[in-house]
Amino acid sequence: MFHKEGAKIILITLTISVAVVLLAEQYIYSYWLVKAIQFFALVFMILVLQFFRNPKRSVEVSDHHILAPVDGKIVVIEEVYEPEYFKEKRLQVSIFMSPINVHVTRYAANGLIKFSKYHAGKYLVAWHPKASEENERTTVVIETKLFGDVLYRQIAGALARRIVNYAKEGMQVVQGADAGFIKFGSRVDIFLPIGTEVNVKLNEKAVGGKTIIATK
């Protein structure tokens, strides 16, 4: 399965790849050069397909835990000041996505969308300390039953050029459902109440919709 946000890019890539394969056969007379060009066209097509893959996952829905919204590596677990919405200290858990990770964003919890805002910005590398404040990003707040307000932030990286966010204020959302996509990006930050029991460790691999980030 592929994510709908990749449909246009996949179609364009497929068209270009087929054209390259056919033109190489017609206009290049070196057998090995033709095969090399065709090989790289195929590899490029495969890379685009794997980037937009959208694996179906069974989700254990529960108000008692927060799930990882994306696939990637846990790179931050620390108390920080959150200046945009809470304007107070929160526990931040950040997940960094490499280009080979699934880039679908999933809702980390059940609840009501209280806040959803897009910010234009820079394209610093996703692990840059200022990325969460200066890069293109979206901020979404879910009102949950047990954790209170939980904020997650999609952050574009150096390669990302479009963040897709489906969360709209007033929506009721279900944990694990499709919340958006970061094209060729990057990082997601989650902000939890201070004192929340965290179930992951630094450098641990997280799986979106499966890994339990925190429990209550």
Tell me which long-range contacts 33-38 makes (C-beta under 8 A, separation of at least 24).
none
Structure tokens at 114: 């209280």
Q: What is the 3-state secondary structure (H, E, C) of the chain?
A: CECHHHHHHHHHHHHHHHHHHHHHHHHCCCHHHHHHHHHHHHHHHHHHHHHCECCCCCCCCCCCEEECCCCEEEEEEEEEEECCCCCEEEEEEEEECCCCCCCEEECCCCEEEEEEEEECCECCCCCCCCHHHHECEEEEEEEECCCEEEEEEEECCCCCCEEEECCCCCCEECCCCEEEEEECCCEEEEEECCCCEECCCCCCEECCCCCEEEEC
Active-site amino acid positions: 186
Query: In terms of residues, how long is the chain?
Result: 216
Of the candidates 180, 216, 168, 179, the residue with the CA atom closest to the CA atom of residue 195? 216
Structure tokens at 140: 């979404």
